[in-house]
């Protein structure tokens, strides 16, 4: 009797689950899948191997999505995903499906609930605090820091420029890390003089490990991951990154208290400190409510998010752009000619220069189109939705928004979509019908707030380096650039951005 009662209760308890699964499978069957999809495991067997192979397979799925009117399905074990390249449908997904996919939990283990990866309930509150911190007037105050760090970058490149091809990644990543640490936390860590910086090494290693966990099902369960050799390195990276940011936050709290105690009565009444240059950490403490605002853990989460995102995205774009300019020297010549008209001496860049660097701006935009640092965004579908195309996405599924794919879709970019052509961003030519056809910094309510910051850092570094060096010895045979890429959360060049530099005979005059 007890056994039968147990079975009845079990069946009744699991009925909603199986009803939901039935609905999910029914809607999924309407949308085409990959020929490599297998029973039970779906496409999981294709996403094995190193991070280059994983990115290659995701590119193939993006191409297939283009061929199948913008959406295909892909089962990853029992989890259903849709790989999407239709900009109209993507716009709706990015506006309505705000919750990040559960796969982001592997990144949250170090970043926590920072703005990019936070659950919606936490993200909404923190977004309101972050928006004023990224206002153009505040971000412009950081340009002198970018300019100073870019001058250091040029000096650091003097030695390797005499030795033929070399990986420029350690140089550009330490430039961006120095810039981010100084602007986000007010800390000069001098990573450019010390490329073996533990924080940078730990950050790069952790992103690689997190990517492995996302695509390798056997590494996902926490209890099982502890038995793998990667686990020890994983924990060490988290410890180093947390310890560094915690120390910075503690010192900043002490600094603020000392400054508060030393203020005159006039300062207290009018808060004259508001008119001084402030770091993002200062602003986060102030805008969240000071002593009654963010806890140290919340500050760590936001600062780590800014540091990781700001360091890698900018460095990746600088690296790709330099490689592209080596492949197309005629385009590099046009950039240099523009620099010569803007700079009449060897001065540092100032914020007023950005408006004059119009061709460099187009080059950067085209680099971000072909090689977006974040090639994929994954969102959860909490409730069944009907897209503008008429497709229905079931509750419990996930959407892989392929930025890499939508940027290369000939339906929206023309037959030359795979070619490197900065002039496609000329005002008279750039007429996209859909905003999501170009979104290197995402789109919708959860788009990247730091895009202006990133573009300023990227353009400052490129303009400073290209005034002093010519990127040589890697001309591409055709208009379509070939760069082997891998997925370490960000999409990076397999070769570490190998370039050869030649010092310019004369400075712009």
Please answer whether residues 170 and 196 qualify as being in contact, where contact means their C-beta atoms are separated by less than 8 angstroms: no
Helix 169-180 × helix 143-156 angle, to 10°: 150
Helical H segments across 389-484, by residue range: 403-406, 410-413, 451-468
CATH code (residue 108) = 1.10.630.10
Residue 7 lies in a domain: no
Structural domain contains residue 214 = yes
Q: Does residue 16 form part of some domain?
A: no
pLDDT truncated to tens, each residue of the chain (509 aa)? 655 555 555 454 545 555 668 888 999 999 999 989 998 889 988 988 888 999 999 999 999 999 999 999 999 888 899 999 999 999 999 999 999 988 788 888 888 888 788 899 988 888 888 888 888 888 999 999 999 999 999 999 998 867 789 999 999 999 999 999 999 888 888 888 888 888 888 988 888 888 888 878 788 888 899 999 999 999 999 999 999 899 988 888 888 888 776 655 545 444 434 435 688 888 888 888 877 888 999 999 998 888 888 888 999 999 999 999 999 999 999 999 999 999 987 889 999 999 999 999 999 999 999 999 999 999 999 999 999 999 999 999 999 999 999 999 999 999 999 999 999 999 998 888 899 999 999 999 999 989 999 999 999 999 999 999 999 978 998 999 999 999 988 899 999 999 999 999 765 44
Structure tokens at 220: 């996902």
Cα–Cα distance between 294 and 460 in angstroms, integer? 32
Q: Is residue 508 part of a domain?
A: no
Parallel/antiparallel/unpaired status of strands 79-84 and 398-402:
parallel
Q: CB-based contacts of 236: which residues, under 8 Å, 6+ apart?
A: 202
Q: Which residues contact 393 (CB under 8 A, 6 or more apart)?
A: 27, 82, 93, 381, 384, 385, 387, 399
CA distance 231 to 62: 31
Reported as type and span, the H/E element at residue 32 is none
What φ, ψ does residue 379 adopt, rounded to 5°?
A: -120, 150
Give domain status of residue 20, yes or no: no
Calpha distance 222→109 (Å, rounded): 11
Cα–Cα distance measured from residue 319 to residue 462, given in angstroms and rounded to the nearest whole number: 9
Rounded distance between C-alpha atoms, residue 239 and residue 247, angstroms: 12
Residue 15 lies in a domain: no
Determine contact, residues 384/394, Cβ cutoff 8 Å: yes
11 in any annotated domain: no
- Report which of 241, 251, 242 is spatially closest to residue 282, judged by C-alpha positions: 251
d(CA 461, CA 314): 10
**Do residues 350 and 387 touch, judged by C-beta distance below 8 A?**
no
> Is 3 inside a domain boundary?
no
Q: Domain tally for the chain? A: 1
Q: What's the domain range around 175?
A: 25-503
Distance CA 193, CA 238 (A): 24
Tell me the CA distances in angstroms from 434 to 430, 482, 491, one per residue in order.
11, 27, 24
The DSSP element (H or E) to which 83 belongs, if any, is: strand 79-84
Contact (CB, 8 A) for 381 and 393? yes
């Amino acid at each position: 009797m007890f056994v039968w009662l147990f079975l009845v209760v079990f069946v009744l308890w699991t009925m909603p689950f199986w009803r939901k699964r039935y609905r999910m499978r029914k809607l999924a069957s309407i949308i085409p899948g990959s020929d490599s999809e297998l029973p039970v495991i779906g496409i999981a067997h294709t996403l094995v191997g190193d991070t280059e192979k994983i990115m290659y397979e995701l590119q193939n799925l993006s191409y297939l999505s283009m061929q199948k009117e913008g959406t295909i399905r892909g089962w990853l074990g029992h989890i259903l995903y849709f790989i999407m390249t239709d900009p109209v449908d993507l716009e709706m997904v990015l506006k309505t499906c705000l919750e990040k996919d559960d796969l982001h939990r592997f990144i949250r283990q170090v970043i926590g609930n920072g703005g990019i990866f936070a659950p919606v309930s936490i993200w909404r509150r923190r977004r309101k605090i972050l928006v004023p911190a990224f206002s153009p007037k505040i971000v412009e105050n950081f340009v002198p820091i970018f300019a100073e760090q870019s001058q250091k970058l040029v000096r650091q490149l003097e030695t390797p420029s005499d030795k033929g091809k070399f990986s420029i990644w350690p140089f550009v990543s330490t430039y961006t890390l120095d810039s981010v640490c100084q602007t986000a936390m007010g800390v000069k860590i001098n990573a450019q003089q010390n490329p073996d910086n533990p924080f940078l090494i730990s950050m790069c290693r952790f992103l690689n490990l997190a990517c492995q966990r996302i695509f390798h099902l056997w590494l996902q369960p926490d209890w099982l991951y502890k038995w793998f050799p990667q686990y020890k390195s994983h924990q060490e990276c988290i410890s180093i990154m947390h310890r560094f940011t915690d120390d910075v936050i503690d010192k900043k709290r002490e600094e603020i208290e000392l400054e508060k105690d030393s203020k005159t009565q006039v300062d207290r009444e009018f808060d004259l400190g508001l008119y001084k240059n402030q770091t993002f950490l200062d602003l986060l403490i102030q805008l969240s409510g000071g002593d009654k605002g963010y806890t140290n853990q919340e500050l760590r989460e936001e600062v780590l998010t800014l540091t990781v995102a700001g360091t890698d995205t900018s460095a990746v774009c600088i690296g790709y752009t330099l490689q592209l300019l080596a492949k197309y020297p005629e385009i590099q010549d046009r950039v240099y000619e523009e620099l010569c008209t803007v700079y009449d001496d060897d001065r540092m860049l100032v914020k007023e220069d950005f408006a004059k660097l119009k061709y460099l701006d187009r080059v950067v935009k085209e680099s971000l189109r072909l090689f977006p640092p974040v090639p994929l965004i994954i969102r959860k579908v909490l409730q069944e939705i009907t897209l503008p195309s008429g497709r229905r996405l079931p509750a419990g599924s996930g959407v892989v928004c392929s930025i890499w794919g939508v940027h290369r879709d000939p339906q929206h970019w023309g037959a030359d979509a795979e070619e490197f052509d900065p002039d496609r961003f000329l005002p008279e030519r750039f007429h996209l019908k859909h905003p999501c056809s170009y979104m290197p910094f995402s789109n919708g309510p959860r788009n990247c707030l730091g895009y202006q910051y990133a573009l300023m850092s990227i353009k400052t570094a490129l303009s400073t380096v290209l005034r002093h060096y010519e990127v040589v010895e890697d001309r591409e045979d055709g208009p379509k650039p070939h760069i082997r890429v891998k997925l370490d959360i960000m999409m990076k060049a397999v070769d570490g951005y190998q370039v050869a530099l030649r010092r310019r005979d004369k400075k712009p005059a």
